[in-house]
Chains A and B, each alone.
Chain A
Amino acid sequence: MGSLDATLKPRLRVRTPSEYAGWILSILIGIGILTSVLTNPNFKWGIVGKYFFAESILRGLMLTIFLTIASMVMGTLLGLALAIMRSSHVKPVSIAANIYINLFRGTPVLVQLIFWFNVSALYPNLMIGIPFTDIGTAVDVNTLMGPITAALVGLTLNEAAYMAEIIRGGFSAVGKGQIEAADSLGMSAGMRMRKVIIPQAMPSIIPATGNQVIGMFKGTSLVSVLGVAELLQSAQLIYARTFETIPLLIVASLWYLVMTLLLSYPQSKLEKRYSRATSTLPRKAKKVVLIEQEEGSLR
């Protein structure tokens, strides 16, 4: 007591009454919700289990995954093009990209999806051919713009607007000095973009894109209004027949949850990896071997 050799004793923290209250309250609410969810027969957990791996649900899940990947890939490519256009010094080009971005970000995706599904009302026929000649053929837009095509077009065009802003943000994070250094070495604009700007913009683009993927995965549920049999629509088709609405919505929700959690693991890894607080870019430790260096980033 009162000695000077007390360094080995643990230092205890004070727990305030509010801390205990927080514990107790959270646990009580948790138990309440859990017992309600488990004991309320209307949840019909048996039916949830029965349909969880049902073939049509899995097929819907596959379609959801396909829509996510396809529209993310196409949306990112289009977004890259828009971002390059947006930062062009040719005014009309940059204004055109700006209008596109604002138009698609300023209207609801749901409205856009329904619009593309019904676009044949505006343009019944699509001419494919060489302008001002007779060469070409007319395509019926109504048959071309089926539900899945409309879904892909709608999701892609919308995503492109968001990706364009993300990519442009990444570009503008690259300092002016980098561009000047590339210019003073005599690099062409394309090379400057590929070797200097894009590699340095990646750290801010990649984590944000990860977030977009997660958002897109859930966002695909909107295309159910077009009658595309993705995950949500597959569940809806079943409960329209069996009236087991809640259990099937739970099935769909659980799948969305599982996939989102699976995606957020690599996402948080990416975020950590790219947010290291230095100007260094993430990389694997390179060995000081000439062969390694030859295969370096100058490819």
Chain B
Amino acid sequence: MSADGTIQVRSLRKSFGHKTVLQNIDLDVASGEVCCIIGPSGSGKSTLLRCINGLETADSGVLKVNGEDFGYYETDHAYHALSRKKLALQRTRVGMVFQQFNLFPNMTAQENVMSGPVLVKGQDKKKAAARADELLASVGLDGHGFKYPAQLSGGQQQRVAIARSLAMDPEIMLFDEPTSALDPEKVGEVLAVMKDLAKKGMTMVVVTHEMGFAREVSDSLLFMDEGFVVERGDAREVLGNPQEARTRSFLEKVL
């Protein structure tokens, strides 16, 4: 069976200076699974997500993405960092969507979506442009390709950002609080695109405060606090019947 679209994490640890932000994290995401990570701010959920894309480097532990050790290769006694080129190649297979969208303001929506395929993969520009238009249409932004990010609303920008990640044909999509920076009325349009993506069988890891989305779309759910995974399991079960006191008190506050 192909390991594409899977994530395996064992005993992942990460600290910033004296502060340990990830303590012995284990995580398994199967191909096509949607996994939501919830928890209070500072719980390490964003850091965990950023490790899976190489924006942060874990101090120790195993991290396999698409079946390969991510960012490192293993020898008998150590993990050796991959060259930037090889790391970049692994990154192209994991899409990342940021809280602040991070679209390139010097490029149009279409150019943003084309940027990965053209600049990184060296794809033909005409083909990439046509594909970008398709992707923009698929996130409901048909005809917006010529606009610059500053001319788009937050919800539209986030959908362009999703299209930009999808243009690389990743096996896994990571979402770091994708709706937290949006006006409340724009949240729905982004979640709709994400639901659509989940339906198509994309492996997704979503750090979110949208409990409704977690309940409706997510397969598994992780509740993190102070660098630990406090509770994990089927999304609806955890949300409906949390076993841990800490989970219960968090859910009482946010629901």
Q: Is residue A181 contacting chain B, with contact meaning CB distance below 8 A?
A: yes
Q: Is residue B77 contacting chain A, with contact meaning CB distance below 8 A?
A: no
Stretch of A14-22, A155-163, A192-200 contacting B (4+ beta carbons < 8 Å): A192-200
Closest B residue to A177 by beta carbon equals: B102
Q: Is the CB of B120 within 8 A of A294?
A: no
Q: Is the CB of A178 within 8 A of B89?
A: no
CA distance in complex: A185, B107 (Å)? 15
Q: How far is the CB of A276 from chain B (nearest CB, A)?
A: 10
Q: Is residue B220 contacting chain A, with contact meaning CB distance below 8 A?
A: no
* Cβ contact of A185, chosen from B91, B100, B126, cutoff 8 A: B91
Known: A184-B91, A293-B129, A297-B111. A288 touches B146 (CB 8 A): yes
Most B-side CB within 10 Å, residue of A184, A200, A288? A184
Q: Is residue A187 contacting chain B, with contact meaning CB distance below 8 A?
A: yes
* Cβ contact of A186, chosen from B103, B120, B145, cutoff 8 A: B120
- The contact size tier of chain B is 35 or more
Known: A185-B164, A195-B115. A180 touches B107 (CB 8 A): no
Q: Is residue B150 contacting chain A, with contact meaning CB distance below 8 A?
A: yes
Known: A181-B103, A184-B55. A298 touches B118 (CB 8 A): yes
CA distance in complex: A288, B151 (Å)? 15
CA distance in complex: A283, B120 (Å)? 25
Q: How far is the CB of B157 from chain A (nearest CB, A)?
A: 11
Which A residues fall within an 8 A CB radius of B?
Answer: 175, 177-178, 180-189, 191, 195-196, 199-200, 278-281, 283, 286, 288, 290, 293-294, 296-298
Which B residues fall within an 8 A CB radius of A?
Answer: 53-55, 84-85, 88-89, 91-92, 94-96, 98, 100, 102-108, 110-111, 114-116, 118-120, 125-126, 129, 145-146, 148-151, 161, 164-165, 168
Query: What 3 pairs across the A-B complex have the smallest Cβ distances?
Result: A181-B102, A184-B96, A186-B92
